[in-house]
Amino acid sequence: MAVIGVGIDVCDIERFAETLERTPALRGRLFTEDEAARPPASLAARFAAKEALAKALGAPQGMHWHDAEVVSEASGRPRFEVRGTVLAQFEAIGVAGVHLSLSHDAGIASAMVILEG
C-alpha cells in the first residue's frame, strides 16, 4: 500500500477545555455521545485527530465532525470509525487503511494520521 495522505495537529488542552466551558453546544457539534463523555485531555486529543484526518484528506469541504469518531480498541489503541461524508471522501480518494496516533503531555494534545491507498 502507498501513503496517500498525512496529517498532524496539536491542541492546547486547557484552552480547549475553556472553550468547551464557554460554548457548551460545541461539545455536541464536535463529538459523538461516547466521545463527549471523555475528560478534557482526551477530548483535545480527539479534536486534534479529527483535524489531522481532515488535513490528510486534503481538507475537503462539507465533512461532518460526527462522521469521524475516535474509538478505543480493547487494547487502548485508538482508531477511527468513519461514515457518511468522511466515508465518501475515503472512497473518492481510495483510502484502504488508516493509522492514528494520539498523545497528550505537558498541556498539549497531539494526533497524527496516515492514510494508505
Residue 68 burial (CB count, 10 A): 27
Question: Which residue segment(s) compose the domain that 62 sits in?
Answer: 3-116
- Cβ distance 93 to 117 under 8 Å? yes
pLDDT at 61: 85
Q: Is the dihedral of CA 61, 33, 99, 116 positive or negative?
A: negative
pLDDT per residue as tens digits for the range 71-96: 999 999 999 999 999 999 999 999 99
The domain that holds 73 is classified in CATH as: 3.90.470.20
Q: In the chain, how many domains are there?
A: 1
pTM above 0.85, yes or no: yes
pLDDT per residue as tens digits for the range 22-72: 999 999 999 999 999 999 999 999 999 999 999 999 988 889 999 999 999
Strands 97-105 and 68-72: unpaired
